[in-house]
Structure 1
Amino acid sequence: MIGCLLIHGFTGSPFEVEPLANYFRSQTDWVVVSPTLPGHGEKDSLRGITFQQWIDTAEEHLKQLLERCDTIYLIGFSMGGVLAGYLATKYKVDKLVLLSAAIQYIHPLQMVKDIREMMTDLYRGKLLQNELFIRYSKKVKTTPLLASLEFRKLVQHLKPSFEHVSIPTIILQGKLDGMVPYKTADTIYQLIRSDEKQVRLMENSKHLICHGEDRDDVIHTVYRFLIN
Structure 2
Amino acid sequence: MNKSCLFNHNNDERTKRTGENMIGCLCIHGFTGSPYEVEPLVNYLKEKTDWKIVAPTLPGHGETLSLKGVTYQQWLEHAEKELQMLLSQCEQVYIVGFSMGGLISVYLAERYPVEKLILLSAAAKYINVRQLITDICEMLKDAKNGQLLKNELFLRYKGKVFSTPLSATQQFRKMVKQVTPLIEKINVPTFIAQGLADGIVPPKSADFIYQKISSTDKEIYYSKTAKHHICHTGDKEELFNKIFTFLNRSSKVS
- Whether TM exceeds 0.5 here: the answer is yes
Structure 2 equivalent of residue 70 of structure 1? 91
- Among 57, 75, 78, the residue aligned to 2:78: 57
Length, aligned pairs only:
228
Q: How far, CA to CA, are the matches of 1:82 and 1:32 in structure 2?
A: 19
Q: Indicate yes or no: 2:16 matched with 1:12.
A: no
Q: Indicate yes or no: 2:177 matched with 1:177.
A: no
Letter in 2 for 1:40: H
Letter in 1 for 2:208: T
* C-alpha displacement of 1:196: 0.5
* Runs of 4+ residues over 4 Å off in structure 1: none
Q: Percent identity?
A: 52
Q: Secondary structure at the match of 1:32?
A: strand
* C-alpha displacement of 1:121: 1.5
* C-alpha displacement of 1:169: 0.4
Letter in 2 for 1:50: T
* C-alpha displacement of 1:123: 2.1
* C-alpha displacement of 1:218: 1.5
Q: How far, CA to CA, are the matches of 1:141 and 1:8 in structure 2?
A: 20
Q: Secondary structure at the match of 1:43?
A: coil
Structure 1 equivalent of residue 220 of structure 2? 199
Q: Flag structure 2 segments of 5+ consecutive residues without an equivalent.
A: 1-21, 250-254
Structure 1 equivalent of residue 154 of structure 2? 133
- Among 93, 98, 118, the residue aligned to 2:139: 118
Structure 2 equivalent of residue 146 of structure 1? 167
Letter in 2 for 1:27: K
Q: How far, CA to CA, are the matches of 2:75 and 2:23 in structure 1?
A: 24
Query: Is the Cα contact below 8 Å between 2:125 and 2:204 reproduced in 1?
Result: no
Q: CA RMSD in A?
A: 0.9
Structure 1 equivalent of residue 66 of structure 2? 45
Q: Rg larger in 1 or in 2?
A: 2
Structure 1 equivalent of residue 107 of structure 2? 86
Q: Indicate yes or no: 2:127 matched with 1:106.
A: yes
Query: Is the Cα contact below 8 Å between 2:27 and 2:38 reproduced in 1?
Result: yes
Query: Is the Cα contact below 8 Å between 2:195 and 2:203 reproduced in 1?
Result: yes
Structure 2 equivalent of residue 162 of structure 1? 183
Q: How far, CA to CA, are the matches of 1:133 and 1:33 in structure 2?
A: 28
Letter in 1 for 2:104: L
Q: CA offsets, 1:119-149, max 9 Å, x none?
A: 1122222222222111111111111111111
* C-alpha displacement of 1:25: 1.6
Q: How far, CA to CA, are the matches of 1:67 and 1:128 in structure 2?
A: 45
Q: CA offsets, 1:1-53, max 9 Å, x none?
A: 11100000000000100111112222211111110000011232111100000
Q: Indicate yes or no: 2:236 matched with 1:219.
A: no
Letter in 1 for 2:69: G
Letter in 2 for 1:146: S
Q: CA offsets, 1:78-102, max 9 Å, x none?
A: 0000000111110001100000000
Q: Secondary structure at the match of 2:209?
A: helix
Letter in 1 for 2:229: L
